[in-house]
Amino acid sequence: MSSVIDLHSHSTISDGLFTPSELVRRAAAQGVRVLALTDHDDVAGLDEARAVAVEAGIALVNGVEISATWNKRSVHIVGLHIAPAYGPLRDGLAAIRAGRGERAMRIAAELERAGIPGSLEGAYAYAANPGIISRTHFARFLVAKGIVKDTRTVFKKYLVKGKPGYVEHRWADFSDAIGWIRASGGIAVLAHPGRYDLGRTNLGNLIADFKEAGGEAIEVVTGNHTAEQFIQFASFAREFDLLASCGSDFHGVGESYMDLGRLPALPSGCKPVWHDWPEMSPEHVGRKSEAPSAAGAPYTADNAALIRPTY
Ligand code: AMP
Ligand code: MN
Ligand code: MN
Ligand code: MN
């Protein structure tokens, strides 16, 4: 399986394990022709990524993944083709980053109460960019300390709602986040909707609110969805007349289930978010006959075992 388009990935500018240069080189080596770097709440990796993409002959889409709050829940909105220098977007992202620093102190205090001291310094030691201190960095610290065996288990035991290291946090306003993306010339994509643990009705409400606020696409194929969810969200996309996106949400080897360039194709009936992008011209992605699907092998019973959620 190889796919030429991957519209969701992370570097060391947020909680990925590869620098922007390393990430782009790996994507190119895996056969990706169009890559979006979508770091959490920061666009600082885009210039470096673009320079390497030019060298490697692949297209780099300016992206970001904004942490937002919808009905007291945290949801992620990917912006594609954003203008990273656009003032309100920059200011909005800076405000979210400031909130992350303060939240990290509260997470550390909670972990200390649970008998784990020193996690603030510990987490920052794993954050190449201290502006984006995230639960992932706390998780890496706890694993390195031998307190928990892997990052997935840290989340389960400590960092999610109801667990000792979880704190409530207010992210960007949902409509504001969509507005910054759109006003900067970008397309707003609801990231991994299958990960929010919402029932059918609430999912419908989320997607309706997203569309109402100006959102144009949802992730259908992502490393966070099961094969059944590919089908489920393809049908949501059709129901709400939204474009469909695909992205691995790659963070690093051993931490993401799906590697770069290994995505199955969008289910049939989806209108791809890239349907009118110049990057997707046959000249760029390959022979004409290969261009329309732009992704890897369609989902079949044979590759079903390969498709499981990251978490
Ligand atoms: P934060 O933005 O600080 O809340 O951290 C969220 C990040 O943690 C996500 O972008 C994922 O990279 C990671 N994450 C969230 N939930 C899990 C989980 N259950 N297992 C592993 N990583 C997770
Ligand atoms: Mn992440
Ligand atoms: Mn996300
Ligand atoms: Mn992500």
Minimal CA–CA distance to 285: which of 2, 1, 5? 5
pLDDT at 257: 79
What is the 249 CA–ligand 4 centroid distance (Å)? Answer: 5
Question: Considering its fold, how many domains does the chain have in total?
Answer: 2
Residue at 164 is within a domain: no
* 133: DSSP letter: -
Q: What is the pLDDT of residues 87-119, one digit of tens each?
A: 999 999 999 999 999 999 999 999 999 999 999
Question: Are 200 and 282 contained in the same domain?
Answer: yes
CA distance 271 to 259: 23
What is the 158 CA–ligand 1 centroid distance (Å)? Answer: 12
pLDDT at 288: 44
pLDDT at 282: 83
> pLDDT averaged over the chain?
92
Handedness of CA 182, 186, 189, 190 (dihedral sign): negative
- Evaluate whether 251 touches 15 at the Cβ level (below 8 Å): yes
Question: Are 191 and 44 contained in the same domain?
Answer: yes
Place of tokens 């080596």: 29
What is the 67 CA–ligand 1 centroid distance (Å)? Answer: 11
Question: Are 79 and 112 contained in the same domain?
Answer: no
Residue closest via CA to ligand 1's atom 13 equals 136
Range 89-95 contact pairs with CB under 8 angstroms and sequence separation of 24 or more: 89/43, 89/64, 89/180, 89/181, 89/183, 89/184, 90/43, 92/66, 92/172, 92/176, 92/177, 92/180, 93/41, 93/42, 93/43, 93/64, 93/66, 95/172
Print the domain residue range for 298.
5-92+172-306
Question: Are 44 and 192 contained in the same domain?
Answer: yes
Mutate which of 120, 134, 153 for ligand 1? The one with the most ligand atoms within 8 Å of its CB, which is 134
Give the CATH number for residue 53.
Answer: 3.20.20.140
Question: Are 215 and 142 contained in the same domain?
Answer: no
Residue at 205 is within a domain: yes
pLDDT at 102: 97
Question: Are 78 and 204 contained in the same domain?
Answer: yes
Question: Are 21 and 142 contained in the same domain?
Answer: no
Residue 306 token pair: 């390969």
Q: What is the pLDDT of residues 23-69, one digit of tens each?
A: 999 999 999 999 999 999 999 999 999 999 999 999 999 999 999 99
Residue 69 token pair: 């709050």
Question: Are 256 and 191 contained in the same domain?
Answer: yes
Question: Are 49 and 180 contained in the same domain?
Answer: yes
What is the 299 CA–ligand 1 centroid distance (Å)? Answer: 26
pLDDT at 305: 37
pTM reported for the whole predicted model: 0.93
Residue at 166 is within a domain: no
Residue at 258 is within a domain: yes
Residues of the chain with pLDDT under 50: 288-294, 298-311
pLDDT at 295: 52
Question: Are 124 and 250 contained in the same domain?
Answer: no
Question: Are 139 and 77 contained in the same domain?
Answer: no
Residue closest via CA to ligand 1's atom 4 equals 135
Phi, psi angle pair for 254, to nearest 5° = 90, -15
CA distance 50 to 59: 8
